[in-house]
Structure 1
Amino acid sequence: MKMRWTSVVWSVVYLLLLLSLLSPLSIVTVFFLILPATILFATLSTRSFLLHVLPVWLIAFIIHPVNLLLAVYFAIPALVMGWAYKKKMPALRTLMSGAGTILAEMLVLLLIGTVFLNFDLSSYVHDIVKMTMSPLKDVGGNNPLVNDMTWTPEQMQMLSNATMQMIPFAMIVSSFMMAVITHSLARPIIESTAFHVPKLKPAREWMLPRSLIWYYLIGVIIEVFARRGDSPFLTMISANLVPLLHICFMIQAIGFFYYLGHSRKWHPIVPLLMTIPILLFPPMRIIGILDLAFPLRQFMTKSKR
C-alpha cells in the first residue's frame, strides 16, 4: 500500500509507546505496544513497513539501547498477528497465534535469564512480595488494625511460594489479554483502510468445547489431593488449571446471556449489564458450566415457545 499520513502517525505512536517502557507508565502502555506494529505490517508492504519501523527503532536506540531490545521483543508477536491479518485468517486463530507467540517469548526469556544470566525467579518474587508488604507496616503506624497483621518470615515465604505457583496463570492471562486488546483495536482500524479483516463470532454464538467439563473435574480432583498432600507439582497444577477454567466458564456464561437476549429480543444493553455480575460475582460461572453440560440454550428457547 502507499504510504499515508496515518502510517506516519502510527509510527509516532509506536515510538512513544517504546519510550514509555522505561517509565512508570509501562504498566499500562505495555498492553498496547503490539498494536502500532501490527497495524503497520498489516496495511503496508514489507518495504514500506521497514521504512516506517527502522527510523523508530533507530531513535529509540539512540535514546536508550535497551529500547531496541524491547522493540524487537514486542515486534515478533506484532508480525505474527499482522501476517495473520494479511492472510485473512479466522479471528480466533489470529488471537491464539498472537497470544501463543507472546507466551513463548516469555518462556524463552525466562529460560535465557535462568540459564545464562543466573536469574533466580524465586528470589525475585520474594523480594517483590517483601517490598510490597513493607509499606503496609510503615503506613500502619499506631493503627492497631494494621499492627495486628504481623508477617513472620515463614508467612512471607508462604506468600512468595503461592505467588510463584500462580506465575504460569499470570503469564497465560497477560498474553491473551495483550492479544485481545491488540485485535479489538487493530481490526476496526485496519477495516477503515478498505482491507477486510475477519472478526470474532458474535457473543451469542460463543460455545466452548464440552470437554472443559471433564478438565474441570480433573482439576478439582487434583486440587483436593493437593490440599491433602504435600506435592508442589500438584499444587502448581491446581493453582493454575482451575482458575483458567473458571475464566472459560465465565466467558461461556456471558455468551449464554447474549444468546438469551438475542432469542428473547431484549435490548442490547441488557446482556451487557448481565456481564457485570458475572465478572463481579465469580460463582455465577455455574451458568457457564450448566450451559456446557446441558442443552440449556435449547431449553430456554423451547420455554419461550
Structure 2
Amino acid sequence: MKLRWTTAVWSVIYLLLLLSLLTPFSIVTAFLLVLPVAILFTALNTKSFFMHVVLVWLIALLIDPIYLLFAIYFAVPGIIMGYLYRKRKSAMQVLKYGMAVMLVEMLLLLMISTAFFQLNLSDYVDEIVKMTTAPLSEMGVEGGIGGQFLGTELDTQLIKDQTMRLVPFAMIISSFLMTVVTHALARPTLHSMGLSVPRLKPAREWMLPRSLIWYYLLIFFINIATIDSDNTFMKMIVANATPLLQICFMIQALGFFYYLAHERKWHPIVPLLTAIPIVLFPPAMIIGILDLAFPLRQAFSKNKR
C-alpha cells in the first residue's frame, strides 16, 4: 500500500515537472525530469509503469501537445536507467548508459530540428549572444564600461564563434549533469521505498583511466600545431576536449584528497573543502594528473606504515 501511494505521488511530481517546462523554472526542472520516470520504472512492473505515465501524458497532452514531446524525450533515458536499476547493474554502468542515451537524444534532436524544421543553430546562437551582450553594450554607451569589452561587432562575433565551437562540450556536460543528478536523487529515494540500488564507489576509490594523460598530451600538441592554422575542425576538437579532460583531472584530484583523508583519518569535511580550490584554481588539476601518472596513493600508504 505504501509503495502504491508513493508511486502515485511521483506520478503527480512527474506531471508538475512536465508542466514547468514552459515556465522560467524550466532551467532547474529540466534536470529533474528523468528522475520520476527512472523511479517509477524501477518500482513498478512494466504494465503498471505505462499505466502511470500514459495517464500523466494524456493530462499533459490536453493542456498543450508540446508537453507530450517533452515527456517522450525525457522518458527514454529514464526508462533505460530504471531498467538498469531493476537488473541491479553497477552505478557506474547506469551513469554511462544514461549519459550516452541523453547525448544521443540531443544529437538526434539537433539533426531533426535542422533537417525538418529549418533550425539554424548559428542564427540561434547569434540571437542569444546579442541578447546577452545587449545590456553590456548599452552600459558601454552610457557609462563607457561594457563597450570596452563587448560593445564592438568584432567582439560579439568572436563570442558567437566561441559559443558555436563549444556546443559539443555543452551537450556532454548537460548529459553528464542530468545523469548524475538523477542517480544522486533516485538511489536514496528508491532505498526509502524498500528498493536496493547499487551506489557509486567511495570517492577515495575513484581512479580514472591512465590513458587520459596521453589524450591530454595529444590535445596539447594539436593545440600548439593549430595555433596559426585555419583548420576549424581541429580547433573545435581542442576547444571541447581540453575542458573535458581538465574536469576529469579535477575529479581525480578530488578522489586523491578523499583517499588521503581516509588514510590520515582526517575530518570528512577536509577533502570536501579541497574541491573549492580545485575548481577555482584550475592548475590544481596537476594533482589529478600526478595521481594517474605515478603511484602517489601507494607512496602515502607506505609513509603511513
TM-score over 0.5 for the pair:
yes
The offset of 1:79, in angstroms, is 0.2
Deviating more after overlay: 26-35 vs 186-195: 186-195
1:260 match: 260
For residue 148 of structure 2, what is the amino acid of its counterpart? D
Contact (CA 8 Å) 1:261, 1:268: kept in 2 or not?
A: yes
The offset of 1:154, in angstroms, is 2.7
2:58 match: 58
1:28 match: 28
Cα distance in 2 for partners of 1:147, 1:133 equals 10
Cα distance in 2 for partners of 1:171, 1:272 equals 27
Cα distance in 2 for partners of 1:58, 1:150 equals 47
User: What do residues 13-59 of structure 1 show as CA deviations (whole Å, max 9, x unaligned)?
Assistant: 10110000011110111000100111001001112112211111111
TM-score (normalizing by structure 1)? 0.96
Give the secondary structure class of the aligned counterpart of 2:142: coil
Contact (CA 8 Å) 1:2, 1:44: kept in 2 or not?
A: no
Cα distance in 1 for partners of 2:195, 2:149 equals 58
1:131 match: 131
Cα distance in 2 for partners of 1:17, 1:150 equals 36
Cα distance in 2 for partners of 1:48, 1:116 equals 35
Give the secondary structure class of the aligned counterpart of 1:194: coil
Cα distance in 2 for partners of 1:23, 1:201 equals 37
User: What do residues 172-213 of structure 1 show as CA deviations (whole Å, max 9, x unaligned)?
Assistant: 011010000000000111122222111110000000011100
Give the secondary structure class of the aligned counterpart of 2:274: helix
Q: What is the aligned length?
A: 305
User: What do residues 223-243 of structure 1 show as CA deviations (whole Å, max 9, x unaligned)?
Assistant: 112222111011100001111
Structure 2 matches for 1:97-246, cutoff 5 A? 97-140=97-140, 142-149=142-149, 151-246=151-246
Cα distance 1:225–1:151, how it changes in 2: closer, same or farther (>3 A)? farther
Contact (CA 8 Å) 2:250, 2:279: kept in 1 or not?
A: yes
Give the secondary structure class of the aligned counterpart of 2:151: coil
Deviating more after overlay: 195-204 vs 152-161: 152-161
Contact (CA 8 Å) 1:38, 1:78: kept in 2 or not?
A: yes
User: What do residues 133-168 of structure 1 show as CA deviations (whole Å, max 9, x unaligned)?
Assistant: 112123455312234345332322221111011000
Cα distance 1:173–1:150, how it changes in 2: closer, same or farther (>3 A)? closer
TM-score (normalizing by structure 2)? 0.96
The offset of 1:125, in angstroms, is 0.7
The offset of 1:270, in angstroms, is 1.1
User: What do residues 82-108 of structure 1 show as CA deviations (whole Å, max 9, x unaligned)?
Assistant: 000001111001001111000000000
Contact (CA 8 Å) 1:39, 1:190: kept in 2 or not?
A: yes
For residue 248 of structure 1, what is the amino acid of its counterpart? C
Percent sequence identity over aligned pairs: 58
